[in-house]
Chains A and B, each alone.
Chain A
Amino acid sequence: MSYQGFRSLLPKKDLYSFLVLALILVVVLPLSLDIFRLNLVGKYLTYAFVAVGLVLCWGYGGILSLGQGVFFGLGGYAMAMFLKLEASDPESTKIQSTPGIPDFMDWNQITELPFFWEPFYSFGFTLLAIILLPTILGYIIGVAMFKRRVGGVYFAIITQALAAILTILIIGQQGYTGGVNGMTDLRTLHGWDIRTDNAKYVFYFVCVFLLFVCLFIAQFIRKSKLGRLLVAMRDKEDRVRFSGYDVSNFKIFVFCVGAIFAAIGGAMFTLQVGFMSPTLVGIVPSIEMVIFCAVGGRLSIIGAVYGALLVNFAKTSFSESFPELWLFAMGGLFIAVVMAFPNGLAGLYNTYAAPKVDAFFAKLFGKTPVSHSSPPTPLPSKPTNTKTESVTLPQGVVHEQ
C-alpha cells in the first residue's frame, strides 16, 4: 500500500488511537498484570471482537442485531467440538460404556459419534468452520431479512428470537451438544496443554493479534466507499436505493463481517476459558455485547474495545468487592453512560481528552495538532433527520444539508 493510501486508511488521529491501544494491550497490560488477570483481559477481549462487529453493523450500518451471541456461540462451539474430541481419546475415556466419545454423549446413552462431529477431528476444518458457519448463517439471515426490506426494530427482534432458538436447541439436544453444562474439560490442542500459564500467554497475544486484524478490516471498511455508503444507508436508506445501489447487498455484507468477527471471538473464548456453554449464546449475553458497544461508543471501533474491557473489568471488580450488590453498581454504570454521555467513552474522549493527547503527540513528533472540529459522525437524534454531517456519496450524488 502506498504511503498515501495508508494515510487515508489511517489518518493521524486514528493512527494515534491504534498506537495507544496497541501499547496498552501489548506492553502495559502484559507487564503489569499476573497471568490470571491477563487471562481475564484476554477473555474480555473476545467480547471486543463482537463489539467491533457491532460498531460496523449498528453504529455505521444501522443494523441493530440482538443476536450476536449466536455467532459467538457458533465459533466457540466449533472450537470446543475440536478440543472435546481431542480430550475424548479412548485411553482417557475408558471408564465410559462407550470409550472414545465425549463424556456427555456417554451420559446420554449415545453409543457412537454423530456424523456431524466427525469432521471436527480435523483442525483445518474446524478453523474453516469457525469462519464459514457464521458467514453462511449470516448470509441466510441477511438474504431472508434485508432482501425483504425487514429492518430496524423488526430485525432486532428476529435476531433475538434466533438467539433464543439456538439456546433451546443446544440445551434440548444435550446428547449432541452437552446441554446446559456445555462442553467442559477441554485439555489439549494437538497435544499441547492449553491450561498452562504459557498457553495462556500465547492465547492472549494471538487474541490481541487477531483483534488488530479485525480492527484494521473494520477501519478499512469504515474508510472505504462502502463505509460511507453504510452511513448514508443508516441515515436515509431510500435515497441510497434511489441512487441505484442495492442496499440489501451492503447490509448482508456488513452483517456477515460482524458475524465472522463474533465467531473469531467465540473461538478465542473457548481457547482461553477452557469451555463453552449455552449461557454465552442466549439473549442476555447478546444484549450485553450491545451494551459493551454502547459504552465504548457505537461509532468508534477502538472505543468498542475499551467498552468491552471497561464493562467487564467493572463487572469483575464490583463482584469481587460486593458479591451481593454488584449488579446494582453495573446498572448504575449503564444508566450513567446513557444519561451522561450517549456517545460512550469515545464521545467523552473526543470532547475532553483528544485535544490534549494530540497536542502531546504533536509535541513528540514536532508537528501541528490534528483538528478535532468534526468528531466521528455523531448519531442523529432521529434517523430521518440528518442535519449532522453531509455525507458525500460516491458518483457525485451529494446529500444536501
Chain B
Amino acid sequence: MNKTLLSSFHVSPRTQGAGMKTWKKCLLTLAASLVFGNAQAADVNTTGLAVTDTTVKVGILHSVTGTMSISETGSVQAEKLAIDQINAMGGVLGRKIEYIQEDGASDWPTFAEKSKKLLVNDKVAAVFGCWTSASRKAVLPIFEQYNGMLYYPTFYEGLEQSPNVIYTGQEATQQIIAGIDWVTKTKGAKSFYLLGSDYIWPRTSNKIARKHIEKLGLSVVGEEYYPLGHTQFNSVINKIKLKKPDVIYAIVVGGSNVAFYKQLKAAGIDMTKEKPLVLTISVTEDEILGIGGENMVGAYAAMKYFQSLPNENNKKFVADFKAKYGKDIVIGDVTQAAYLGPWLWKAAVEKAGSFDIDKVRAASPGIELTTAPEGYVKVHPNHHLWSKTRIGHARTDGQYDVVFETKDLIEPDPFPKGYQ
C-alpha cells in the first residue's frame, strides 16, 4: 500500500521544472509524514543499521580499477541510476538512499576487506555489488557472519543459495537449457562443440549443457577450456573445422573473446551462414564493444536481457541511462540485472516495513517488479529471480536483435537435479 501511495506522487524527474521540484518535495514530505508518521528510525531499524529519520546508507562494491573494471562499471552506473530514481520518488520508507562506494580493485581479498568495512564500520542496510564468482565467494562468509544483504547481478554457475544474497542475474540452467532447446528446435542442431574459459562458471555451465544435450539424444563432439586471458584459439578452431559441429557453444570470457571471434572470422568461419552456428552465453553488448560488431555479426546469444528489447519499461530505462551517462553508452545483461538490485531491495523493505536484514530477507520471496526493463520478474524463495530467457542475433552495430523469447518465466534452480 505504501508503495502505491508513493508512486502516485511520482513525476518523471526529467519532465519537471524547478518550481515543480519544491512543490513535489513538500508533497512528498507530507505524504511521507502521513504514511510513516510514527515510523521513527528505531522502529524500522532494530539492529543498529545506518538509518536515520531521513536517510538510509547502502553500499556499492564493484571493481572500478583493475581488469574487471570494464565489466563492472556498467553495474555501478546502473545501481547509481536506480538509487537516484528511487530518491527522486521519495526514497525508501521516506528515507533518501545515500550510497557509500568502495572499490574491489579486481582483487578478491580487497573485496573481502571492503565488504567487511561496509557491514561493520558503515553498517549499511544493503550492498549492491560483486561481479565475478571469485569475488562473491570471497565476500560470502562475511555477509553470512555479519548478517548483511548482498544483491549480486551477474549470471553465474548456480550451486549456491545463501540467505544473505539475492541473485538478480540468471543461474546457469535458466540461461542454458532454454538456449539449447531453441537451437535444436528452430535450427535443427544435432552436434555441439563446447568451449570455455577455464574456471568454475564455464565448466559448470558446460556440464549442464552436456547433460541436457545428451538428454535430448544429441551429441557433444568436443569440449575444451583455455586459461583466462588466452589469445591463441587457432588450434581449437582447426579442430572445430575438422569435427564440423552444428553449434559452437562458446563461454569464453573477458579479453579472450576479442581474440576468439577475430580468429574465428579470420579462419573463414562466417557466422552469418550459421555453419556452424555460434551460440554464446557470455558475450553481452558490453563485450561486443571490445570485440567489434563486424567480428560478432551473425552469432547468437542466450541471456535474459538485450538493450534492444522493445517493451516500454526498457525504452524508458535505456533513455534514462543514456540521459545520465551519454548517448553512446551500451547496456548489457548484467547492467540491467544490477539496476534491479536497488528496486528489489526497496520493494522488500517496504513490504517488511523495516530495514532489518532478517525482516527484509523474510519479505523478499515473492517480491515482484513490473517495471523491470527485462519485463516482469519475481523473487523465488531460493533468492534467485524468475525470468525469461531470450535469444539475441548479433548485428554489425554491436546490438542484438531479439529473435526468441521463452513463453513463460523460467524457474530458477541453482541445484538442478540430474545436471550435477
Binding site for B on A (CB under 8 A): 34, 36, 39-40, 43, 95, 97, 104, 107-109, 168, 171-172, 174, 179-182, 184-187, 195, 273-275, 277, 279-280, 316, 319-320, 323-324, 326-327
Is there an interface contact between B198 and A324, defined as CB atoms closer than 8 Å? no
> B residues within 8 A CB of A277?
108-109, 134, 138
Is there an interface contact between B200 and A36, defined as CB atoms closer than 8 Å? no
**Which of A108, A182, A320 lies in contact with B203, CB distance below 8 A?**
A108
B13 CB to nearest chain A CB (Å)? 24
Is there an interface contact between A324 and B199, defined as CB atoms closer than 8 Å? no
Q: Given A40-B113, A95-B415, A320 and B102 touching (CB < 8 A)?
A: yes
With the chains together, A182 CA to B138 CA distance in Å? Answer: 8
Nearest 3 pairs of A and B residues by beta carbon = A323-B103, A184-B137, A181-B134
Is there an interface contact between A274 and B200, defined as CB atoms closer than 8 Å? no
Q: Does B120 contact A (CB under 8 A)?
A: yes
| 8 Å CB interface, B227-260 against A | 227-228
**Which of A34, A179, A275, A280 lies in contact with B199, CB distance below 8 A?**
A179
Is there an interface contact between A185 and B415, defined as CB atoms closer than 8 Å? no
B191 CB to nearest chain A CB (Å)? 23
> B residues within 8 A CB of A275?
108-109, 112, 137-138, 141
Q: 1/0 per position for B126-149, CB-CB distance to A under 8 A? A: 000000111001101110010000
Chain B at the A interface: SS class: helix
Q: 1/0 per position for B93-116, CB-CB distance to A under 8 A? A: 000000001110101111011101
Chain A at the B interface: SS class: helix
A287 CB to nearest chain B CB (Å)? 14
Offer 15 A-B interface pairs, CB within 8 angstroms, sorted by A. A39-B116, A43-B113, A168-B227, A171-B199, A180-B228, A181-B108, A181-B138, A182-B108, A273-B113, A274-B141, A277-B109, A277-B138, A316-B113, A319-B105, A323-B102
A140 CB to nearest chain B CB (Å)? 25
Is there an interface contact between A181 and B141, defined as CB atoms closer than 8 Å? no
Is there an interface contact between B200 and A104, defined as CB atoms closer than 8 Å? yes
Q: Given A109-B207, A185-B137, A36 and B103 touching (CB < 8 A)?
A: no
> B residues within 8 A CB of A187?
141
> A residues within 8 A CB of B142?
274
> B residues within 8 A CB of A184?
137-138, 140-141
> A residues within 8 A CB of B2?
none
With the chains together, A184 CA to B135 CA distance in Å? Answer: 10
Q: Does B11 contact A (CB under 8 A)?
A: no
Is there an interface contact between B227 and A97, defined as CB atoms closer than 8 Å? no
Residue of B nearest to A274 (CB): B141
With the chains together, A184 CA to B109 CA distance in Å? Answer: 10
Residue of B nearest to A36 (CB): B120
B98 CB to nearest chain A CB (Å)? 15
Is there an interface contact between A320 and B108, defined as CB atoms closer than 8 Å? no
Is there an interface contact between A172 and B198, defined as CB atoms closer than 8 Å? yes
> A residues within 8 A CB of B308?
none
Is there an interface contact between B200 and A107, defined as CB atoms closer than 8 Å? yes
Is there an interface contact between B200 and A273, defined as CB atoms closer than 8 Å? no
> A residues within 8 A CB of B198?
171-172, 174, 179
**Which of A95, A180, A195, A327 lies in contact with B141, CB distance below 8 A?**
A195
> A residues within 8 A CB of B120?
36
Q: Does B87 contact A (CB under 8 A)?
A: no
Is there an interface contact between B159 and A107, defined as CB atoms closer than 8 Å? yes
**Which of A185, A319, A320 lies in contact with B140, CB distance below 8 A?**
A185
**Which of A181, A316, A327 lies in contact with B65, CB distance below 8 A?**
A327
B39 CB to nearest chain A CB (Å)? 30
With the chains together, A108 CA to B120 CA distance in Å? Answer: 34
With the chains together, A108 CA to B420 CA distance in Å? Answer: 10
Q: Given A181-B137, A184-B140, A277-B134, A326 and B228 touching (CB < 8 A)?
A: no
Is there an interface contact between B108 and A279, defined as CB atoms closer than 8 Å? yes
Q: Does B117 contact A (CB under 8 A)?
A: yes
With the chains together, A234 CA to B145 CA distance in Å? Answer: 49
B306 CB to nearest chain A CB (Å)? 28
Is there an interface contact between A36 and B112, defined as CB atoms closer than 8 Å? no
Q: Given A179-B200, A184-B141, A277-B134, A323 and B113 touching (CB < 8 A)?
A: no
Is there an interface contact between A36 and B65, defined as CB atoms closer than 8 Å? no
Is there an interface contact between B137 and A319, defined as CB atoms closer than 8 Å? no
Q: Given A275-B138, A277-B134, A174 and B113 touching (CB < 8 A)?
A: no
With the chains together, A125 CA to B116 CA distance in Å? Answer: 32
> B residues within 8 A CB of A326?
65, 103
Is there an interface contact between A323 and B134, defined as CB atoms closer than 8 Å? no
**Which of A273, A319, A327 lies in contact with B112, CB distance below 8 A?**
A273
> B residues within 8 A CB of A34?
121
A152 CB to nearest chain B CB (Å)? 29
> B residues within 8 A CB of A40?
113
Is there an interface contact between A180 and B65, defined as CB atoms closer than 8 Å? no
Residue of B nearest to A35 (CB): B120
A322 CB to nearest chain B CB (Å)? 9
> B residues within 8 A CB of A316?
113
> A residues within 8 A CB of B157?
107
With the chains together, A187 CA to B140 CA distance in Å? Answer: 12
With the chains together, A326 CA to B198 CA distance in Å? Answer: 31
> B residues within 8 A CB of A182?
108, 134, 137-138
With the chains together, A107 CA to B420 CA distance in Å? Answer: 8
Residue among B120, B132, B228 with max Cβ neighbours from chain A (10 Å): B120
Q: Does B64 contact A (CB under 8 A)?
A: yes
With the chains together, A39 CA to B107 CA distance in Å? Answer: 18
Is there an interface contact between B64 and A323, defined as CB atoms closer than 8 Å? yes
> A residues within 8 A CB of B159?
107
Q: Given A182-B134, A326-B65, A274 and B204 touching (CB < 8 A)?
A: no
A234 CB to nearest chain B CB (Å)? 33
> A residues within 8 A CB of B200?
104, 107-108, 174, 179-181
Q: Given A107-B204, A319-B105, A180 and B121 touching (CB < 8 A)?
A: no
> B residues within 8 A CB of A186?
141
B50 CB to nearest chain A CB (Å)? 15
> B residues within 8 A CB of A324?
64-65, 103
A347 CB to nearest chain B CB (Å)? 29
Residue of B nearest to A168 (CB): B227
Residue among A43, A171, A180, A279 with max Cβ neighbours from chain B (10 Å): A180
B296 CB to nearest chain A CB (Å)? 25
Is there an interface contact between B103 and A319, defined as CB atoms closer than 8 Å? yes
Q: Apart from A172-B227, A180-B228, A181-B138, what 11 extra A-B contacts exist at CB < 8 Å?
A: A36-B121, A107-B157, A168-B227, A171-B228, A172-B198, A184-B141, A185-B141, A275-B138, A279-B107, A280-B109, A319-B114
With the chains together, A71 CA to B133 CA distance in Å? Answer: 26
**Which of B101, B203, B420 lies in contact with A97, CB distance below 8 A?**
B420
> B residues within 8 A CB of A279?
107-109
